[in-house]
Amino acid sequence: MEDVRASCAWVAANSSHVTVDYSGIEKVTEAMKDSIPKVEWDFEGIHYFDNGPLTVQYLLVLDALNFCFWPDKDMDYDHLASGLKAALEEDKFAFDVDRLQKYTGPQLRKMLNWPRPLPLEDERVRLLHELGQELERSFEGRASKLVESCGKSAVKLVQLMAQHFPVTVMIFHLTILYDSREFGEGFRDHTMYKGHQIFLYKRAQIFAADLWGAFKGQGYGEFNDVGSITMFADYIVPGVLQQLGVLKYSSSLASTIEKQCEICSGSEEEVELRACSVHAVEKMRELLNKTYGKQVLSLELDLWLWSVGTRCPTLRHHRTLSIYY
Ligand SMILES: Nc1nc2c(c(CN[C@H]3C=C[C@H](O)[C@@H]3O)cn2[C@@H]2O[C@H](COP(=O)(O)O)[C@@H](O)[C@H]2O)c(=O)[nH]1
């Protein structure tokens, strides 16, 4: 995740539309110094948990689909988490890899008990198929095997996920030996910005954090380097950071968000919103540690900020059609 930290710091230093306001960070951390808000993982009580490998399978399916809810004003993350939980409680084979590879849009809708097409439904279906295919090919069909092969390192887990999803398929021809083809981008959440490659890895990192939270840092959730995980660059936390005065937007960006106009995936504005959020949370964490001697993880700050955002009905967030968040 050093690539995430370094590339997001580069964006913050070269940004045109979003500024990280260090005096805002000082104010927020000063207010937090005596008691850093702790938010329990699953504070909503919506996730499946049985303390075993099926929970790992559930979390991986969840995070494969954990993006872009806003196009349907009635849908949010809770529907996905609780819908998948209900599906698994009804049928414990629902996330077996052969099933994952066959789901259709209408079946996924039915599983989530959603009356109309899901936002980016085709992408969700494609990513589920990809997940099933690669789990079958490389991990004996089990997400727990993927986690076991990371040797208690969250960094390694994120690397493995970026390496394996999307699937690289070797296509054999009679005339040439083989041709290697990749489909989609899966968990490879990175982009180009002003000629630099920027890494964010939101869904892969959130999977590691979900394991850590669900298993309380034990068993499948034990990572020796959990502090390497950065915040998860989504569309809620940037809005919260802006409300707190930690991020400042240019007037044109502020008005685009206020008017709820869409922002293109990969545009300077979009990359800056995400990368400056990562950088700002890193600075908050550093300041809490250096100035006030408080040890806190970026993922803990993230969960607090995210829970604030989801409880704020007036929060205006940026709107980007994206499979990454
Ligand atoms: N930064 C950050 N972003 C997060 C989460 C989570 C859920 N984490 C769970 C893990 C344990 C907890 O108990 C949480 O339940 C979802 N998201 C993102 O939010 C957006 C959806 O928002 P809305 O449309 O309002 O539901 C979408 O981009 C989604 O990917 C998080 O923790 N941090």
Both tokens of 97, joined, read 């890899």
Protein residue whose Cα sits closest to atom 14 of ligand 1 = 42
Contacts of 19-22 with C-beta under 8 Å, sequence gap 24+, read 19/247, 19/248, 19/276, 20/246, 20/247, 20/276, 20/279, 20/280, 20/283, 21/245, 21/246, 21/247, 21/248, 22/283
**Ligand 1 centre distance from Cα of residue 174 (Å):** 47
Is the CB of residue 159 below 6 angstroms from any atom belonging to ligand 1?
A: no
Predicted pLDDT at 166: 81
**Catalytic residue positions, numbered:** 234
- 322 is a domain residue: no
β strands within 122-195, DSSP E: 168-172, 178-182, 190-193
Give the whole-angstrom CA distance, residue 61 versus residue 43.
20
- 320 is a domain residue: no
- 113 is a domain residue: yes
Give the whole-angstrom CA distance, residue 229 versus residue 299.
7
Protein residue whose Cα sits closest to atom 24 of ligand 1 = 76
- 317 is a domain residue: no
The atom of ligand 1 lying closest to the CA of 66 is 30
**Ligand 1 centre distance from Cα of residue 75 (Å):** 12
- 172 is a domain residue: no
Predicted pLDDT at 178: 46
Predicted pLDDT at 164: 93
Protein residue whose Cα sits closest to atom 16 of ligand 1 = 77
Candidate from 303, 308, 311 with most ligand 1 atoms within 8 A of CB, to mutate: 303
The reported pTM is 0.95
**Ligand 1 centre distance from Cα of residue 108 (Å):** 20
Using alpha carbons only, give the angle 196, 200, 204 rounded to the nearest 5 degrees: 145
Both tokens of 219, joined, read 């068993």
Ranges of the chain with pLDDT below 70: 167-184
- 318 is a domain residue: no
149 lies in which domain range?
A: 2-166+189-310
Is 69 in contact with 77 (CB distance < 8 Å)? yes
- 175 is a domain residue: no
Please give the tally of structural domains in the chain: 1
Is 242 in contact with 215 (CB distance < 8 Å)? no
Both tokens of 257, joined, read 């968000």
β strands within the chain, DSSP E: 18-20, 168-172, 178-182, 190-193, 196-199, 247-249
Give the model confidence (pLDDT) of 125-167 as tens digits: 999 999 999 999 999 999 999 999 999 999 999 999 999 998 6
**Ligand 1 centre distance from Cα of residue 78 (Å):** 8
Predicted pLDDT at 184: 58
- 180 is a domain residue: no
Q: Please name the residues in contact with 293: beta carbons below 8 A apart, sequence gap of 6 or more.
A: none
